[in-house]
Amino acid sequence: MKARLILIGGGGHCKVCIDVIEQTGQFDIIGILDLAELVGTSVLNYQIIGTDQDIAKYVEQGYSFLITVGQIKSVALKEKLFHILNENKAVIATVVAPSAHVSVHSNVGAGTIVMHHVTVNAGAIIGKNCILNNCCDIEHDTIVGDHTHISTGAILNGNCRIGNGVFVGSNATVANQIVIGDKAVIGAGSVVIKNVTAKDIQAGNPAKSINK
Amino acid sequence: MKARLILIGGGGHCKVCIDVIEQTGQFDIIGILDLAELVGTSVLNYQIIGTDQDIAKYVEQGYSFLITVGQIKSVALKEKLFHILNENKAVIATVVAPSAHVSVHSNVGAGTIVMHHVTVNAGAIIGKNCILNNCCDIEHDTIVGDHTHISTGAILNGNCRIGNGVFVGSNATVANQIVIGDKAVIGAGSVVIKNVTAKDIQAGNPAKSINK
Amino acid sequence: MKARLILIGGGGHCKVCIDVIEQTGQFDIIGILDLAELVGTSVLNYQIIGTDQDIAKYVEQGYSFLITVGQIKSVALKEKLFHILNENKAVIATVVAPSAHVSVHSNVGAGTIVMHHVTVNAGAIIGKNCILNNCCDIEHDTIVGDHTHISTGAILNGNCRIGNGVFVGSNATVANQIVIGDKAVIGAGSVVIKNVTAKDIQAGNPAKSINK
């Protein structure tokens, strides 16, 4: 039987998640939770059926959950929703696109979605509630923390250590053995060849801090 | 029955198109149209059987068509050939590589080829006579005009509006919600984080105008 | 019957190779050769069973070989091991990941590994003992020499000529018709729009020499 899945967050990122979830053939999407004023509207034919106030009710009914809010400027909402799910002892899904290659020698945490054409190589460990966006590549032995978003086409080379709540922008390149601290933000197309401290914001080739 | 297909343009880009068309298993390539002095020569074992003067004749014979001239410096030839096909009421093929992921929630126009390992995400709308070159990624809700070439590995992130006759260079990154005007040219490896006006030529990280 | 394969080199790159080899289903990995002090240890459950002193013995026993040492700073070790294999008339394997697209109109040399999601287009010719790392893209009619490493996500566009022992860094972009000389090194994320002489080291967008 397919797992019955509730999505939390009905924006643009939710569309992308639905596209991956449908491809897997492993889930029935029951509906989406979002703001009260959006209840009754829909995203790609799936209805917004409630708000995050309804999580406890749906946990009791035996549904699984995936957080489908995006994450570019701040990870706070994604993190908060994940804690609410855990407090409610919710079953949290892990979703892997059929076109992705996830090594049997790697680990992917609960609540993480691995999108189209992604590579997760041998020895990689991916945390919980992460987004591995379309076409990104996580190389061998690299460790990614929780609530982290590796955006479209970004490459984390081997033996990196990426913190919690990090955002690595689209098509960014992170060299081997780089350490990136919690909640750091790496701009699109950046080339990271030196370690990045927590909460730092970097961009460019080579990437430099643009924090003021 | 397979569609019988005539290719228009027999250069390097034609080779790449043939490689994709063969993978689909949906077409019999009847031959290629190019310059008169090339008639009788061949590309990957397919003969150059005529010139664009022969389009009307082949339309009458019930063949389908795909324009396989490349497009880096100018879109004029691709555009002109497309108009000739339309004037002749030709059947124009759409080609999608089996290794591409094209969302069922997206739309791809006539005469467009979607190459190996490409992603076209939910809500994306791709115009007519476009090239989505190998490994490029068109994200959710992005709209691409007609006669536009998204080169190898380029990434258009979500909610972009890309004009007609645009060239986005190899491995370029276009941030979310960017608008690029008609016939603009984005250099290879550029990182576009601001809107680009029509016919502008940009390069670099971040991308800047190099028009003189 | 599956080919029985001996890997030479047991570091991080070996893990990545094993991940690809297992996916192909075409080889039984018999063991790994590395330094004497590592014999008896293992990589992803495959034992280090000897050193390169044992190559002749394993050739006699009918095994095939793949060199799985990495290559970033120097190609010397990979090259030396390949010469030892040839002197011993060893059977050298070619490995292609099932998720890669290798055109039937291309050629890939002995000892080369083509990793996950790679594209090798029509007319491309890849030398011996090369690494085409995950997600890289080799375009039409491009020729790559021996002992060359095209790193993760790098793109070589059409009609390029890449020498022997070259390293093209992760996510680098090489424009059409570029010539790169033997043993040149291209940094991660570089955008190469001019020819590169032998042994030159380049980085940046656009790529410039950083040789001192």
What is the mean pLDDT for each group of 10 consecutive residues in chain C (212 residues)?
Answer: 94 95 97 96 96 96 95 84 97 98 98 98 98 98 98 98 98 98 97 98 97 68
Main-chain dihedrals φ then ψ at residue C50, nearest 5 degrees? 175, -165
Write down the pLDDT at residue B10.
Answer: 94
Strand partners, A4: A28
Task: Give the ipTM.
Answer: 0.96
Radius of gyration of chain A (CA): 17
Which residues in chain B have Cβ-Cβ distances shorter than 8 Å to C159?
Answer: 12
Chain A residues whose C-beta sits inside 8 Å of any chain C C-beta? 101, 103-105, 117, 119, 121-123, 135, 137, 139-141, 153, 155, 157-159, 171, 173, 175-176, 189-191, 193, 205-206
Per-residue exposure over C115-125, b if at least 16 CB sit within 10 Å of its own CB, e if not:
bbbbbbbbbbe
Strands annotated E in C55-193: 64-67, 91-92, 95-96, 101-102, 107-108, 113-114, 119-120, 125-126, 131-132, 137-138, 143-144, 149-150, 155-156, 161-162, 167-168, 173-174, 179-180, 185-186, 191-192
- Res B73 pLDDT > 90: no
Write down the pLDDT at residue A18.
Answer: 98
Angle at A81 between CA A78 and CA A87, to 5 degrees: 140
Write down the pLDDT at residue C82.
Answer: 97
- Res B72 pLDDT > 70: no
Q: Which is it for the CA torsion B26, B30, B32, B33, positive or negative?
A: negative
Main-chain dihedrals φ then ψ at residue C29, nearest 5 degrees? -80, 115
Please name the residue that has the structure tokens 């601001």. Answer: B194
Averaged pLDDT of chain B: 96
Of A122, A139, A155, the CB nearest to C44: A122
Write down the pLDDT at residue A72.
Answer: 65
Write down the pLDDT at residue A47.
Answer: 97
Tens-place pLDDT, residues B89-143: 999 999 999 999 999 999 999 999 999 999 999 999 999 999 999 999 999 999 9
Q: Do B15 and C140 touch (CB under 8 A)?
A: yes
Closest CA to B180 of B160, B154, B204: B160
Element spanning B125, H or E: strand B125-126
Tens-place pLDDT, residues B18-40: 999 999 999 999 999 999 999 99
Separation of alpha carbons A69 and B138, rounded Å: 20
Tens-place pLDDT, residues C95-142: 999 999 999 999 999 999 999 999 999 999 999 999 999 999 999 999
Which residues in chain A have Cβ-Cβ distances shorter than 8 Å to C21?
Answer: none
Percentage with pLDDT > 90 across chain C? 95
Report yes or no: B118 and B100 within 8 Å, Cβ to Cβ. yes
Element spanning A168, H or E: strand A167-168
Closest CA to A27 of A98, A86, A105, A82: A98
Q: Please report the number of interchain residue pairs, chain B to chain C, with beta-carbon separation below 8 angstroms.
A: 79
- Res A212 pLDDT > 70: no
| Average pLDDT rounded to a whole number, residues A159-178 | 98
Local confidence band at A182 (pLDDT 50, 70, 90 cut-offs): very high
Where do the domains of chain C lie, and which CATH numbers do they carry?
3-93 (3.40.50.20), 96-205 (2.160.10.10)
- Res B1 pLDDT > 90: no
| Prediction pTM value | 0.97
Main-chain dihedrals φ then ψ at residue C85, nearest 5 degrees? -60, -45
Local confidence band at B212 (pLDDT 50, 70, 90 cut-offs): low
Element spanning C23, H or E: helix C12-24
Question: Is residue B210 left, alpha or beta, with left meaning phi > 0 and alpha meaning psi from -120 to 50?
Answer: alpha
Report yes or no: C159 and C175 within 8 Å, Cβ to Cβ. no
Report yes or no: A37 and A48 within 8 Å, Cβ to Cβ. no
Separation of alpha carbons B156 and B120, rounded Å: 10
Closest CA to B175 of C118, C186, B186: B186
Report yes or no: A80 and A96 within 8 Å, Cβ to Cβ. no
Tens-place pLDDT, residues B152-175: 999 999 999 999 999 999 999 999
Nearest chain B CA: its distance from C127 CA (Å): 20
Residue C38's SS3 state is helix
Nearest chain B residue (CA) to C104: B19
- Res B194 pLDDT > 80: yes
Percentage with pLDDT > 90 across chain B? 95
Write down the pLDDT at residue C1.
Answer: 81
Which residues in chain B have Cβ-Cβ distances shorter than 8 Å to C153?
Answer: 153
Write down the pLDDT at residue C212.
Answer: 59
Write down the pLDDT at residue B70.
Answer: 84
